[in-house]
Amino acid sequence: MTTLPLHFSPEVAAARAKARPIVALESTIITHGMPYPQNLDTAQRVENAVRDAGAIPATIAVLDGQLHVGLDEARLETLARAQNVAKLSRADLAVCLATGGTGATTVAATMIAAHAAGIAIFATGGIGGVHRGAEHSFDISADLQELAQTPVTVVCAGAKAILDLPKTLEVLETLGVPVIAYGQDSLPAFWSASSDLSAPLRLDDAQSIARAHIARAALGLPGGQLVANPIPAEAEIPAAEITPIIENATREAAAKGIKGKAVTPFLLDRIYTLTEGRSLDANIALVVNNARLAAKIAICLDKERQSGARR
Ligand code: PSU
Ligand code: MN
C-alpha cells in the first residue's frame, strides 16, 4: 500500500515535532461559504483564535494535486482569491489528487485529511446534513456518513436551517453519531443560539468532550463526535428573522433547478444577499467561537492522553 503524501506548513510541522495540540480547519467555508475578502479575513481570524487559545491551526486544502495540512499566509490568500475552485467531499478527494487539481475540502474531506495527519479535533461553522425535501431529492451530505466512520471530533454551531434539522438529527442517530450540545439542552441552529429541538446529548466543558472522544475509541467504535456550540448571544440572528429569508432562498433554489453540490453554496450566497451581509457577521462570530472551543478540547485531549499514558 502506498502512503498518502501530506504537505505540512512549517507551523504545523513544528507543532507535530513538539507534539503540540493541533486543530484542523476546513477550506470550503473559504471558497464556497463567504465572498472575498471577508473569507480571507475570517480564515485568518479563525486561525488566530486557535493560536490565542494555545493550539496550532491546520487549514486543509488540495493545491495542485497536493494535500496540504496547514496553509502558510501566501497559500491561504491564493485559495481565498481563487475562482472556480472545486468543492471536495469524500467522493472527490482522490480524483483531485490524481489529476493535479485544486480544491477546497468540505467537512467530510477535511475529517479524512485530519485523521490521516493524526489530528483529532476540527472546527468549522456548519456541517452539511439532510436537505429540506430530501425525501424527493435524496440530498443528504456525505458529512453525516463521515462522522459515522472517521474518528474526529467536529465543533460546529449546529446545522443551518437551510437543512431539515429533525431529519438531520434522525440520520445522525441512525448512524450512531453523538450530537453534543455545549453548555445547553437545546440544539443550536447556527445563526440562532437555540432551536425548538433538544440536543440528544449535552456536555458543559472541554475536558468532558475530550474524555468522551477517548472513551469512544476505547470502546472500539468508529466515527467521531459532533459538538454543537451555540453562537455568542450578541452575534445571533433570531430564528423569527432568519426563517423567512431561508424559505425565500430555498424556493429560489428550487425554481432555478439548483441541484447536488451547488445547493449549499447557492443558499449561503442568497442568504448573504437577502440579509445584506448580516448573515456573514454572524457566521464569522460563530466560527471564531468554535475555533476557541476546539482549541480547548485539543489541549484537554493531549492532557488526558498524557495522563492516560502515565497510568
Ligand atoms: N454548511 C454551512 N457552511 C458551509 C458548509 C455547510 O453552514 O460552508 C460547507 C461545509 O464545507 C460542508 C459542506 O461540509 O458545505 C457540505 O456540502 P454538501 O451539503 O454538498 O455535502
Ligand atoms: Mn448535497
Which stretches within the chain are classed as H helix?
10-17, 28-31, 38-52, 73-81, 93-98, 107-116, 134-137, 142-149, 165-174, 206-218, 239-256, 263-274, 278-310
Pocket of ligand 1 (CB under 6 A): 26, 28-29, 33, 89, 106-107, 125-128, 141-143, 160, 261, 264, 268
Mean of the pLDDT values across residues 152-171?
94
Q: What's this model's pTM, rounded to 2 decimal places?
A: 0.96
The pLDDT of residue 1 is 61
Is a pLDDT exceeding 90 seen at residue 139?
yes
C-alpha of residue 10 to centroid of ligand 1, in Å: 28
Do 177 and 224 touch, CB atoms closer than 8 A? yes
Do 147 and 173 touch, CB atoms closer than 8 A? no
C-alpha of residue 105 to centroid of ligand 1, in Å: 9
Active site residues: 26, 160
Q: What nine digits make up the cell of 275?
A: 440579509
Is a pLDDT exceeding 90 seen at residue 91?
yes
Is a pLDDT exceeding 90 seen at residue 174?
yes
Mean of the pLDDT values across residues 42-60?
98
Mean of the pLDDT values across residues 250-269?
90
**Which whole-number Å values give the CA distances from 9 to 13, 163, 261, 276, in the listed order?**
6, 34, 29, 36
Computed on alpha carbons and rounded to an integer, the radius of gyration of the chain in Å comes to 18
Instruction: Report all structural domains of the chain as residue ranges with CATH numbers, in order of start.
Output: 1-119 (3.40.1790.10), 126-311 (3.40.1790.10)
